[in-house]
């Protein structure tokens, strides 16, 4: 039996395992599979249009009688700056010539928009059971509309101060994101990477600091990690890297090869790919330009100039410029259908929790 | 009922709780107190100071007779190998080596009848330790205070547990300061925990009172891992090791400006040495890990061992929910 039932009751799910919303490498398919395994289906909406997000949520609902978590970014949007974009293009110029690309050709701007009124209207229309945010919370008026629509609101904290802020500003559940986690750091009250704590130091301190249920994220990919998180006071866990190699993910074939070979010491935190710090397996441009570069334009604009390179390299079967977001637990990932994996993870954790109690 | 593990069995101790051999801080008094309480105290031989070592070993001899250990920084011990014999003459139950190749010392340690404990931060180091004959491995995460490397506890502990595959007990270190942490590490597959910062804030630790007060006052996110304090005291460590300390004025001044510090290293070192001598912890380092936010009191070490063991037992027996489990006096 799970030692903590708060999330099970709140979300009406069978297993307190949340699929990490991984923009760019998953869609409804993975979410449906995790829901079928008894976990919480998350849909990353930060890179989707309103129409596409609606279609995806409807797809999940048609195929799984389970709650849905729509996930959004809520960073403060910064206009693209011609000077810094020009500097970034120059920094990447040798790659453009290597791939025979014209640096002057028009490029579609990177499409990671913060949560806005249009998306809020969509949430009011769809009424997902859960809405989650990365990089803080949206403005109070929008948040109030989500609450009025009956949504439970999740948000990520990377330090205790952020957790307290989220509790004070209306979050219902806190996700404690340890430094191990793959993808973007959810940090929004600090920019000091060197001070981002590891999950097992952060988690009990967040649990002590807030009254809300806390979901543990970062570095967890097996039953041992899940059981340990519960011992530290978590009410649930959020897993991403564990699911990357599932057949339902949208990770492209060459990236799958890289992720399958990745050990847990192969990930780095970089700002090169989007302009915001995120953890992933180092690709060629991260190795050669980063992992941290002061030339990278502000989020999400660093991604704009990388897009033509990514497309060109992927045509050749290469992931030199592809996001390979993954956490330190990437080495524990399993190639297994996601519904089955969710059940296996839950069973492993329960066995460990039970075995120690006996 | 106390938690029995392969570690407690091998060491002949009651609780799977080890004292980190903190240089200067883990003296005879703290070592003896942790051992008497049923954990394993490990004397902090540190960089290796002969006079200090002889004095502390004499002090240990008058104590309970409970098993204890002695720990050294391996690469530093290599410069003063004679200290190993002094330590072994005190008949420690275990000898702990951290940061460097244990092989040159392993035969003498084992010949003396002591168990060899090796602290590791990667799979390669774990293999090296097993090859050298390590009886117990400490898997240290980046959350730990003092020197360490980059991978965190949730990552390195199961990785080492899987690699060792039962050949030796694995002990978790880094970010652990209460019974929840002990229970969590047992669930990750560890046989016990090694704690430093928690015992720094104890009555018996040989640290400055001001340093202990700062640990209690520190909140989460108030430590940083890096090389600036080592640079400040002209203390060159081999890669990949960096040190974690509380963030103080000195850290705030130099974080991210290490290159500039190197250019002024003599000046900085003089200022740092003076501050250290004066007990000015706005400049001098308080070595502490990320668990500082869980530490709120300066307690007797025996009380800490008891508190942590009891809390872990209750969590594991399902009699206590960790979300409301902490014994934090001022919560």
Which two three-digit tokens encode residue B107?
A: 């035969």
Nearest residue in chain A measured CA to CA from B188: A224
Which two three-digit tokens encode residue B151?
A: 């991978």
Question: With bands split at pLDDT 50, 70 and 90, how would you rate the model's confidence at B262?
Answer: confident
Asked whether the beta carbons of A201 and B220 are under 8 A apart, the reply is yes
Residue B199 half-sphere exposure, CB side, CA atoms within 13 Å?
40
How close B160 gets to chain A, by Cα (Å)?
12
Residues of chain B positioned with their CB less than 8 A from the CB of A195: 221-224, 247
Residues of chain B positioned with their CB less than 8 A from the CB of A218: 154
What is the C-alpha to C-alpha distance for residues B198 and B181, in angstroms, rounded to an integer?
A: 12
What is the C-alpha to C-alpha distance for residues A354 and A347, in angstroms, rounded to an integer?
A: 10
Residues 215-274 of B with CB under 8 A from A: 219-226, 247, 255
Nearest residue in chain A measured CA to CA from B295: A205
What is the C-alpha to C-alpha distance for residues A130 and B267, in angstroms, rounded to an integer?
A: 56
Residues of chain B positioned with their CB less than 8 A from the CB of A202: 220, 290
Interface membership of B311 toward A (CB under 8 Å): no
Q: What is the pLDDT of residues A2-47, one digit of tens each?
A: 999 999 999 999 999 999 999 999 999 999 999 999 999 999 999 9
* C-beta pairs of A50-54 under 8 Å, 24+ apart in sequence: A50/A118, A50/A119, A50/A121, A50/A122, A53/A119, A53/A122, A54/A122, A54/A125, A54/A126
Question: With bands split at pLDDT 50, 70 and 90, how would you rate the model's confidence at B327?
Answer: very low
Convert A212-236 to b/e letters by CB count within 10 Å (16 or more is b).
Answer: bbbbbbbbbbbbbbbbbbbbbbbbb
Interface A-B, measured as beta-carbon pairs within 8 A, has a size of: 159
Mutate to test the interface with B, among A9, A173, A201 (most CBs of B within 10 A): A201
- DSSP lists the bridge partners of residue A257 as none
pLDDT in the model for residue B328:
46
Interface membership of A4 toward B (CB under 8 Å): yes
- Measured at the alpha carbon of residue A158, what is the angle toward residues B140 and A327, in degrees to the nearest 5? 60
Answer yes or no: do A194 and B226 touch at CB < 8 A: yes
For the beta sheet containing B223-226, the strands, ordered from the edge strand earlier in sequence to the opposite edge, are B146-148, B242-246, B223-226
pLDDT in the model for residue A357:
55
Helix (H) or strand (E) holding A68: strand A68-73
Q: Which of A105-114, A189-198, B204-213 has the lowest mean pLDDT?
A: A105-114
For the beta sheet containing B115-120, the strands, ordered from the edge strand earlier in sequence to the opposite edge, are B17-19, B192-195, B170-173, B136-140, B115-120, B94-98, B68-73, B41-46
Q: What is the pLDDT of residues A210-247, one digit of tens each?
A: 999 999 999 999 999 999 999 999 999 999 999 999 99
* C-beta pairs of B103-106 under 8 Å, 24+ apart in sequence: B103/B128, B103/B131, B103/B132, B104/B78, B105/B74, B105/B77, B105/B81, B106/B132, B106/B133, B106/B134
What is the C-alpha to C-alpha distance for residues B4 and B9, in angstroms, rounded to an integer?
A: 7
What is the C-alpha to C-alpha distance for residues B218 and A238, in angstroms, rounded to an integer?
A: 28
Q: What is the pLDDT of residues B284-324, one digit of tens each?
A: 999 999 999 999 999 999 999 999 999 999 998 876 777 76
Interface membership of A3 toward B (CB under 8 Å): yes
Nearest residue in chain A measured CA to CA from B330: A208
What is the C-alpha to C-alpha distance for residues B69 and B41, in angstroms, rounded to an integer?
A: 6
Nearest residue in chain A measured CA to CA from B245: A195
Query: What's A281-337 look like in SS3?
Result: ECCHHHHHHCCCCCCCCCCCCHHHHHHHHHHHHHHCCCCCCCCCECCHHHHHCCCCC
What is the C-alpha to C-alpha distance for residues B76 and A3, in angstroms, rounded to an integer?
A: 46
What is the C-alpha to C-alpha distance for residues B299 and B321, in angstroms, rounded to an integer?
A: 24
Question: With bands split at pLDDT 50, 70 and 90, how would you rate the model's confidence at A72?
Answer: very high
Q: What is the pLDDT of residues B11-22, one digit of tens each?
A: 999 999 999 999
What is the C-alpha to C-alpha distance for residues A254 and A242, in angstroms, rounded to an integer?
A: 18
Residues of chain A positioned with their CB less than 8 A from the CB of B223: 195
Which two three-digit tokens encode residue B132?
A: 């050298």
Handedness of CA B21, B22, B27, B32 (dihedral sign): negative
Helix (H) or strand (E) holding A73: strand A68-73
Asked whether the beta carbons of B172 and B308 are under 8 A apart, the reply is no
Residue B329 has pLDDT above 70, yes or no: no
Asked whether the beta carbons of B213 and B191 are under 8 A apart, the reply is no
Answer yes or no: do A199 and B154 touch at CB < 8 A: yes
Residue B184 half-sphere exposure, CB side, CA atoms within 13 Å?
34
Asked whether the beta carbons of B218 and B288 are under 8 A apart, the reply is yes
Residues of chain B positioned with their CB less than 8 A from the CB of A200: 141, 143, 152-154, 174-176, 181, 184
Answer yes or no: do B220 and A352 touch at CB < 8 A: no
Mutate to test the interface with B, among A3, A173, A197, A357 (most CBs of B within 10 A): A197
pLDDT in the model for residue B256:
83
- The DSSP bridge pattern shows strands A236-239 and B41-46 to be unpaired
Asked whether the beta carbons of A47 and A23 are under 8 A apart, the reply is yes
- DSSP lists the bridge partners of residue A40 as A18
What is the C-alpha to C-alpha distance for residues A68 and A249, in angstroms, rounded to an integer?
A: 17
Residues of chain A positioned with their CB less than 8 A from the CB of B143: 197-198, 200-201
Residue B68 has pLDDT above 80, yes or no: yes
Question: Residue B329 CB: number of other CB atoms within 10 A?
Answer: 8
pLDDT in the model for residue B330:
38
How close A87 gets to chain B, by Cα (Å)?
23
The answer for residues whose C-beta is within 8 angstroms of residue B303's C-beta and 6 or more apart is none
Nearest alpha carbon to residue A67 among A194, A209, A173, A222:
A173
pLDDT in the model for residue B324:
62
Answer yes or no: do B220 and A160 touch at CB < 8 A: yes
Answer yes or no: do A198 and B153 touch at CB < 8 A: yes
Looking at every residue in chain A, the average pLDDT score rounds to: 95
Answer yes or no: do A329 and B184 touch at CB < 8 A: no
Query: What's B35-55 look like in SS3?
Result: HHCCCEEEEEEECCCHHHHHH
For the beta sheet containing A214-217, the strands, ordered from the edge strand earlier in sequence to the opposite edge, are A17-19, A236-239, A214-217, A173-177, A152-157, A130-134, A68-73, A41-44
How close A215 gets to chain B, by Cα (Å)?
11
Residues 328-357 of A with CB under 8 A from B: 328-329, 331-332, 352-353, 356-357
Interface membership of A149 toward B (CB under 8 Å): no
Answer yes or no: do A3 and B225 touch at CB < 8 A: no
The answer for residues whose C-beta is within 8 angstroms of residue B141's C-beta and 6 or more apart is A198, A200, B148, B151, B152, B153, B154, B155, B156, B157, B172, B173, B174, B175
Interface membership of B8 toward A (CB under 8 Å): no
Interface membership of A82 toward B (CB under 8 Å): no
Angle of helix A82-91 relative to helix A302-315, nearest 10 degrees, comes to: 30
A328 to each of A218, A239, A246, B121, how far by Cα in Å? 8, 12, 17, 14
pTM for this one?
A: 0.95
Residue A263 has pLDDT above 90, yes or no: no
Answer yes or no: do B174 and A198 touch at CB < 8 A: yes
What is the C-alpha to C-alpha distance for residues B297 and A320, in angstroms, rounded to an integer?
A: 51
Asked whether the beta carbons of B228 and B251 are under 8 A apart, the reply is yes
Answer yes or no: do A356 and B316 touch at CB < 8 A: yes
E strands, chain B, where? Answer: 17-19, 41-46, 68-73, 94-98, 115-120, 136-140, 146-148, 170-173, 192-195, 223-226, 242-246
Q: Specify the CATH architecture of the domain A9-77+113-248+337-358.
A: Alpha-Beta Barrel (3.20)
Question: Residue A271 CB: number of other CB atoms within 10 A?
Answer: 24
CATH fold, domain B6-206+297-324, is: TIM Barrel (3.20.20)
Which two three-digit tokens encode residue A33?
A: 């599979």
Answer yes or no: do A357 and B220 touch at CB < 8 A: no
Residues of chain A positioned with their CB less than 8 A from the CB of B226: 194
Which two three-digit tokens encode residue B115?
A: 């168990």
Question: So what's the ipTM on this one?
Answer: 0.92
Instruction: Supply φ then ψ for residue A303, to 5 degrees.
Output: -70, -25
Domain ranges of chain A: 9-77+113-248+337-358, 82-111+250-329
Residue B96 has pLDDT above 50, yes or no: yes
How close A167 gets to chain B, by Cα (Å)?
16
What is the C-alpha to C-alpha distance for residues A28 and A36, in angstroms, rounded to an integer?
A: 12
Nearest residue in chain B measured CA to CA from A230: B322
pLDDT in the model for residue B146:
95
Answer yes or no: do A205 and B178 touch at CB < 8 A: no
The answer for residues whose C-beta is within 8 angstroms of residue B163's C-beta and 6 or more apart is B123, B126, B127
Question: With bands split at pLDDT 50, 70 and 90, how would you rate the model's confidence at A335?
Answer: very high
Mean local confidence (pLDDT), B69-95: 94
Nearest residue in chain B measured CA to CA from A332: B159
Question: With bands split at pLDDT 50, 70 and 90, how would you rate the model's confidence at A264?
Answer: low
């Amino acid at each position: 039996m799970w030692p903590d039932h708060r999330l099970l009751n709140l979300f009406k799910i069978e297993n307190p395992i949340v699929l990490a919303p991984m923009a760019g490498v998953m869609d409804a398919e993975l979410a449906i599979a995790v829901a079928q395994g008894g976990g919480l289906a998350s849909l990353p909406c930060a890179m989707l249009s309103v129409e596409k997000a609606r279609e995806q949520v409807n797809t999940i609902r048609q195929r799984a009688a389970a709650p849905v978590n729509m996930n959004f970014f809520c960073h403060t949007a910064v206009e693209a700056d011609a000077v810094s974009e020009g500097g970034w293009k120059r920094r990447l110029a040798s790659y453009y010539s290597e791939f025979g690309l014209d640096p002057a050709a028009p490029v579609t701007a990177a499409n990671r928009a913060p949560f806005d009124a249009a998306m809020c209207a969509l949430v009011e229309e769809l009424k997902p059971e859960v809405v989650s945010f990365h990089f803080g919370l949206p403005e109070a008026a929008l948040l109030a509309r989500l609450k009025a629509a009956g949504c439970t609101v999740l948000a990520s904290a990377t330090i205790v101060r952020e957790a307290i802020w989220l509790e004070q500003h209306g979050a219902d559940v806190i996700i404690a994101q340890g430094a191990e986690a793959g993808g973007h750091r959810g940090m929004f009250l600090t920019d000091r990477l060197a001070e981002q704590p590891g999950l097992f130091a952060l988690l009990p301190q967040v649990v002590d600091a807030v009254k809300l249920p806390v979901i543990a994220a970062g570095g967890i990919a097996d039953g041992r990690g899940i059981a340990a998180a519960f011992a530290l006071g978590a009410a649930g866990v959020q897993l991403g890297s564990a699911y990357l190699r599932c057949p339902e993910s949208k990770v492209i074939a060459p990236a799958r090869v890289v992720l399958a070979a990745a050990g847990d010491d192969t990930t780095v935190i970089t700002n090169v790919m989007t302009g915001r710090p995120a953890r992933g397996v180092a690709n060629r441009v991260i190795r050669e330009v980063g992992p941290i570069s002061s030339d990278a334009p502000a989020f999400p604009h660093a991604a704009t100039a990388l897009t033509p390179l990514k497309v060109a390299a992927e045509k050749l079967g290469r992931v030199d410029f592809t996001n390979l977001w993954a956490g330190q637990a990437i080495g524990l990932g399993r190639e297994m259908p996601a519904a089955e994996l969710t059940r296996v993870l839950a069973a492993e954790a329960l066995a460990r929790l039970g075995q120690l109690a006996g | 009922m106390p938690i029995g593990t392969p570690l407690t069995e091998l060491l002949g101790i009651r609780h799977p709780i080890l004292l980190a051999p903190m240089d200067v801080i883990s003296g005879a008094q703290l070592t003896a107190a942790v051992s008497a309480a049923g954990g394993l105290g490990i004397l902090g031989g540190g960089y290796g100071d002969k006079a200090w070592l002889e004095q502390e070993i004499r002090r240990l001899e008058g104590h309970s007779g409970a098993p204890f250990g002695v720990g050294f920084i391996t690469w530093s011990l290599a410069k003063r190998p004679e200290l190993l014999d002094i330590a072994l003459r005190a008949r420690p139950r275990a000898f702990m080596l951290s940061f460097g190749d244990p092989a040159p010392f392993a035969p003498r340690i084992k010949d003396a009848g002591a168990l060899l404990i090796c602290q590791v931060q990667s799979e390669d180091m774990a293999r090296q330790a097993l090859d050298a004959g390590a009886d117990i491995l400490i898997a240290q995460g980046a959350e730990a205070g003092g020197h360490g490397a980059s991978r965190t506890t949730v990552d390195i502990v199961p990785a080492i547990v899987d690699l060792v595959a039962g050949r030796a007990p694995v002990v978790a270190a880094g970010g652990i300061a209460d019974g929840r942490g002990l229970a969590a590490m047992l669930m990750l597959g560890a046989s016990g925990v090694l704690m430093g910062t928690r015992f720094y804030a104890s009555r018996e630790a040989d640290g400055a009172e001001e340093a202990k007060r700062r640990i209690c006052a520190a909140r989460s996110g108030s430590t940083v891992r890096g090389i600036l304090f080592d640079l400040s005291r002209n203390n060159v460590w081999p890669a990949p090791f960096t040190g974690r300390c509380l963030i103080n004025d000195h850290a705030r001044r130099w974080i991210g400006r290490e290159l500039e510090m190197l250019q002024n290293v003599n000046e900085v070192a003089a200022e740092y040495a003076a501050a250290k001598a004066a007990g000015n912890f706005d400049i001098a380092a308080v070595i502490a890990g990320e668990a500082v936010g869980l530490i709120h009191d300066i307690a007797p070490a025996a009380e800490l061992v008891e508190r942590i063991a009891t809390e872990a037992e209750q969590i594991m027996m399902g009699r206590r929910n960790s979300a409301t489990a902490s014994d934090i006096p001022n919560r």
